[in-house]
Amino acid sequence: MLLSPSLLAADFSDLKGQIALLNESEADMLHLDVMDGVFVPNISFGFPVLRHVARLCQKPLDVHLMIVEPQKFIPQVAALGAYYMNVHYEAVTHLHRVIWQIREAGMHPAVTLNPSTPVSVLADIIRDVDMVLLMSVNPGFGGQKFIEHTYTKVRQLRQLIEETGSKALIEIDGGVNMQTAPLLVEAGADILVAGSAVYGAEDVVKAAHDLKAVCQMDK
């Protein structure tokens, strides 16, 4: 399992220290939640902050854009040196074009689905993306309750990936903790985002270690 802690749950009064902990930890990447107050009912942080984060972070950046018209920001996300650029299926009309623009900008394109969007909508795009992010809470806030139906969606997505020969990885975001993480990996998830479960913990480095370890144990 690859672990992508979400900075959203970090102590923003000490971003430098919080990113140093991530660098030191077993986390595989850093998940960055950008919100615009339009696509989701909340606002988080934008590019002036992300530029500092990118400079300090030694791990790949997993950028999750919860914004309308995310295609407008492809150059800015690319300039951060982002590894994944996640755009919501619900926010983009011409998804195929946007996915290829992200790839041409040198990043790995990923498509994100809200909890109410079925996996079946991905049938004609699954071979073009490097990752699918399934939201297991309604996007906009950290610390929400995990939606149990996500396990079924992970299995459906795993089946679609196998049937189509897609190389996409499966990422889950929302309510990931020591209980849900091993079950998600068992269902077929590759990457787990964890906000409260890592940055909300007393010991961030230990929390990242424990989450990875609990998923290994079950394998």
Residues at the interface with ligand DX5 (CB under 6 A): 6, 8-9, 31, 33, 64, 137, 139-144, 173-176, 193-197
Residue with tokens 């996300």: 77
In the bound state, the residue with its beta carbon closest to ligand DX5 is 195
Chain centre distance of CA 3: 10
Shortest CB 163 distance to Zn ion, Å:
27
Nearer to ligand DX5 by Cβ, of 41 and 106: the residue is 41
Strand duo 169-173 + 191-194: pairing: parallel
Q: Residue 4 corresponds to which tokens in the numbers above?
A: 């992508």
Q: Least distance (Å) from ligand DX5 to the CB of residue 165?
A: 29
Judged by beta carbon, residue 54 or residue 197, the one nearer ligand DX5 is 197
Q: Of the listed 62, 173, 210, 218, which one is catalytic?
A: 173
Interaction of residue 62 with Zn ion, rule CB under 5 A: no
Yes or no: say if 193 and 6 are a contact pair by the CB < 8 Å rule: yes
Residue 9 contact, options Zn ion, ligand DX5, none, Cβ 5-8 Å cut-off depending on partner type: ligand DX5
**CA-CA distance, 84 to 118, in Å (whole number)?**
22
Per the residue annotation, which of 14, 33, 124, 210 is the catalytic one? Answer: 33
Instruction: Identify which of residues 6 and 166 has a Cβ nearer to Zn ion in the complex.
Output: 6
CB 99 within 8 A of CB 127: no
Gap between the Cα atoms of 66 and 40, Å rounded: 6
Is 130 an active-site residue?
A: no
By rule CB under 5 A, what string of x and - marks binding of each residue 17-56 to Zn ion?
----------------x-----------------------
Concatenated DSSP letters for 154-191?
HHHHHHHHHHHT---EEEEESS--TTHHHHHHHHT--E
**Active site annotation includes 14:** no
Task: Cite the active site residues.
Answer: 33, 173
